[in-house]
Structure 1
Amino acid sequence: MIYLINSKDDINYNPQNEIEDVVRNVHMILRVTKEEQPLMRDFSLDSDMVDKNIPVIKNKLIGLLMTNLKEYEPRALLKNLDLKLENNDLEIMLEIEVII
């Protein structure tokens, strides 16, 4: 089944089942930048993407997300990625398939 994840949505910190747990973990990968995790410096997204244009960000994000999902949340497969820029605010929308 395909699940939609939006970087603007609230994170469910109290998952009730394994699917919600996978969705929460993917949300965390989307929201955290590499430098924010003291003991896991390579976890999550690279803050060097700031000030890059959308096509460059999208290509870089696809690679980063595929690598991070494979390493940190292998139960999620990236199916689609869309970016929306509005008022200098980037919104990331993902479609993932959860494999349990």
Structure 2
Amino acid sequence: MEIEISALTVPTEIDFAPTTELQEIIQNVRTILTTPIYSVPLDRNFGVNAEMLDLPIPVAQARLSAEIVTAIQKYEPRVEVTEVSFTGDGMDGVLQPTVKLRIRE
């Protein structure tokens, strides 16, 4: 099964007791995508490093894609990233990642 998660569709509430494993995985990946690295006190490496956002758009997309894949592999091993794409042209200073995942059996 393949699912698509966008940083744009972040829910406003955290579900501390998801009823299914799929809900838990989706929430975990959204948390990884929206957490800047160094912002979690007891795990400074958690999240995505976004220091490259001032670079040219193609370079920023490539580096951010690599950061996203690495972070998801490390913190949510139950999924495999199959694609990272971006919405927004970057001219307004906004690049929103969308990640396609496959649940590992």
Ranges in structure 1 where 5+ consecutive residues have no aligned partner: none
What code does the residue aligned with 2:45 have?
Answer: D
Count of residue pairs brought into register by the alignment: 100
Tell me what 2:2 maps to. 2
Structure with the higher strand share, 1 or 2: 1
TM-score normalised by L of structure 1: 0.87
The runs of at least 4 aligned residues of structure 1 exceeding 4 Å deviation read none
Q: Is the Cα contact below 8 Å between 1:54 and 1:83 reproduced in 2?
A: no
**Displacement after TM superposition at 1:17 (Å):** 0.5
SS at match of 2:31: helix
Cα deviation digits, residues 24-56 of structure 1 (max 9, x gap): 111011000012111111111113122122211
What code does the residue aligned with 2:87 have?
Answer: K
- Sequence identity of aligned pairs in percent? 24
Tell me what 2:96 maps to. 91
TM-score normalised by L of structure 2: 0.83
Asked if residue 76 in structure 1 is aligned to residue 79 in structure 2, the reply is: yes
Tell me what 2:14 maps to. 13
Bigger shift: 24-33 or 79-88? 79-88
Write the mapping of 1:32-47 to structure 2, written as runs, cut at 5 A.
32-47=35-50
Cα distance between partner residues in 2 of 1:5 and 1:28: 11
What code does the residue aligned with 1:61 have?
Answer: L
Cα distance between partner residues in 2 of 1:97 and 1:75: 9
Cα distance between partner residues in 1 of 2:98 and 2:60: 13
Cα distance between partner residues in 2 of 1:2 and 1:57: 26
Asked if residue 54 in structure 1 is aligned to residue 75 in structure 2, the reply is: no
CA RMSD for the aligned pairs? 1.6
**Displacement after TM superposition at 1:99 (Å):** 1.8
Ranges in structure 2 where 5+ consecutive residues have no aligned partner: none
